[in-house]
Amino acid sequence: MSVADRKAREKEALKALILKGAKKLFIEKGIEQTTIRNIADEIDYSVGTVYVYFKDKTAILHDLHSIGFQELGSYFQELFKIKDPMERLRKMGFAYIKFALENQEMYDLMFNLKAPMEFLEKSENEDWDEGAATFNRVKVTIEECINKGHFKGHNVEPLSFMVWSLVHGMCCLEIRQRTKGVKFSNPDTILFDGYNEYLKIIEKM
Amino acid sequence: MSVADRKAREKEALKALILKGAKKLFIEKGIEQTTIRNIADEIDYSVGTVYVYFKDKTAILHDLHSIGFQELGSYFQELFKIKDPMERLRKMGFAYIKFALENQEMYDLMFNLKAPMEFLEKSENEDWDEGAATFNRVKVTIEECINKGHFKGHNVEPLSFMVWSLVHGMCCLEIRQRTKGVKFSNPDTILFDGYNEYLKIIEKM
DNA sequence: TAAAAAAATGAACGCTGTTCAGAAATAAAA
DNA sequence: TTTTATTTCTGAACAGCGTTCATTTTTTTA
């Protein structure tokens, strides 16, 4: 192991440390309320150092958004053992909602905040690989459903987008306080009640 | 007409002028990119004056969010002439998407940004009247559908929430660049293609 | 041990939302 | 009309933000 190798490892370690500190503060006090100075303080480095390892704030937010997709992946892990695509589709939406509710700041970062997309626009590879890969998992599952005779007369891609929008919409309204705003008769379970109506609809499809 | 009356009118006029200037800049260069100084410059008043008429930035954003709901209302105007509730429900979602796409910054403000909800939390009346009223229009329509024998075995409130989430989710993904991120085979029409899948589903319900 | 390279620093810049003592304009009173 | 009182408006000043970069500190190489 050369010195250069060790240095490279140390660089990665400090980058990871910054991201870890950032994530901690994001969850503790919200992304908007967290400053670069906060992050630097949290890990006992100076502001300048943060900028040695990250071009700007959107770079931190983008890297953290990628970590979020890894975490969402772990929520999906079990799902692909399920052979029946309809059953998998049902459980997938459920897992998605569960992830969003248990990781609200991370979900917001992944699917709502502008920063990660702004970072992509500035960078070489403009593609949103994380989003595309996750969407593909829905698409593949729905394609299997169609191949098994479900969703007659439907098209894979727009149908997948519709399903994604449905669960995303619920999570988004919840996280951005629009469900608290509209007082539901059963506010604590509205997401799952809503998702249940969708399950009833696709039951016989 | 007393002097006090005229002054009250002038106060309202200046408040409206500030909102008008703010809205113009929001649409022109985005809400996040617009500062109080920008707004003051736009209407040829000083920063201080803006703060005489509005407690803080969230107050401006909340008032503008209310104006947005009035505008959404005008998109809904024609709908309640439609007697068939299923037909009205279909057109309503369409109008909702149309509004979102034609007024992206306003839609974001109404259904996504934290500011209007933060303003509500600070104010006396914490209820989100605008959201509740709009949601009620969906609820009433779906209730009519159920009374006519549609949506058997479904519950009005969670079903309405599901429908709202579906269209909101699509608009939200589009406005926050998540559809541009995932490259669809037909990117320009994905919202309407997605909505069409939903229409196919509720066709025989 | 000295020179070179790499890493970390924090003061400084221009921006933000917000405040508030004082100036300017208007209304009321003399 | 002139004086006083009231209302309206102003913009410098403040603290905090993301970001930069000349300088210092640490580490590696000679």
Q: CB B32 to CB A114 under 8 A?
A: yes
Average pLDDT, chain A: 96
DSSP state of B81: G
A140: helix, strand or coil: helix
Question: Is pLDDT of A2 > 80?
Answer: no
> Would you kindly state where each structural domain of chain B is located, as residue ranges?
1-54, 61-202
Q: How many CA atoms does the CB half-sphere of B132 hold within 13 Å?
A: 10
d(CA A38, CA A43): 9
Question: Is pLDDT of B42 > 80?
Answer: yes
- The pair of three-digit structure tokens given for residue A173, joined into one six-digit string: 């309204």
Q: What is the DSSP string of B115-163?
A: HHHHHHHHSS----HHHHHHHHHHHHHHHHHHHTT-STT--HHHHHHHH
CATH of domain B1-54: 1.10.10.60
Which candidate, B135, B133, B140, B145, places its Cα nearest to that of B167? B135
Distance A126 CA to C16 C1' (A): 30
Q: CB A173 to CB B111 under 8 A?
A: yes
Query: Which nucleotide is closest, CA of B46 to its C1'?
Result: D10
DSSP state of A1: -
Contact A149, B158 (CB under 8 A): no
Residue A1 pLDDT: 59
Residue A17 pLDDT: 98
From the list A161, A167, A196, which residue is nearest B194 (CB)? Answer: A161
Percent of chain A's residues with pLDDT above 70: 99
Q: CATH 1.10.357.10: does it fit domain A62-203?
A: yes
Contact B57, B18 (CB under 8 A): no
Phi and psi for B182 in degrees, rounded to 5? -85, 115
Phi and psi for A199 in degrees, rounded to 5? -60, -40
Distance B52 CA to D1 C1' (A): 33
Mean pLDDT of B71-80: 97
Residue A184 in contact with partner chain B when CB distance is under 8 A: yes
Q: CB A127 to CB B183 under 8 A?
A: yes
Residue A17 Cβ < 7 Å to strand C? no
pLDDT digits (tens, 9 = 90+) for B122-167: 998 889 999 999 999 999 999 999 999 999 999 999 999 999 999 9
Residue A143 Cβ < 7 Å to strand D? no
Closest residue on chain A to B181 (Cα): A128
Residue A58 pLDDT: 98
Mean pLDDT of A23-36: 98
Question: Is pLDDT of A185 > 90?
Answer: yes
Distance from CA of B111 to the nearest CA of A (A): 7
CATH match for B61-202 among 1.20.1050.10, 3.40.250.10, 3.40.50.720, 1.10.357.10: 1.10.357.10
Question: Is pLDDT of B76 > 90?
Answer: yes
Distance from CA of A9 to the nearest CA of B (A): 31
Q: Which residue has the higher pLDDT, B98 or B124?
A: B98
Suggest the residue from A96, A159, A167, A178 to mutate for an interface test with chain B (most B CBs closer than 10 A): A178
Contact A85, A141 (CB under 8 A): yes
Question: Is pLDDT of A134 > 80?
Answer: yes
d(CA B60, CA A85): 48
- The pair of three-digit structure tokens given for residue B183, joined into one six-digit string: 């490259």
Q: How far apart are the first and last CA of chain B?
A: 59
Provide the greatest CA pair distance for chain B: 65
Band the pLDDT of A4: cuts 50, 70, 90.
confident
**Which residues lie closer than 8 Å to B95 by C-beta, 6 or more apart?**
B75, B76, B79
Residue B4 pLDDT: 77
Distance A20 CA to D28 C1' (A): 29
Distance from CA of B116 to the nearest CA of A (A): 10
Question: Is pLDDT of B1 > 70?
Answer: no
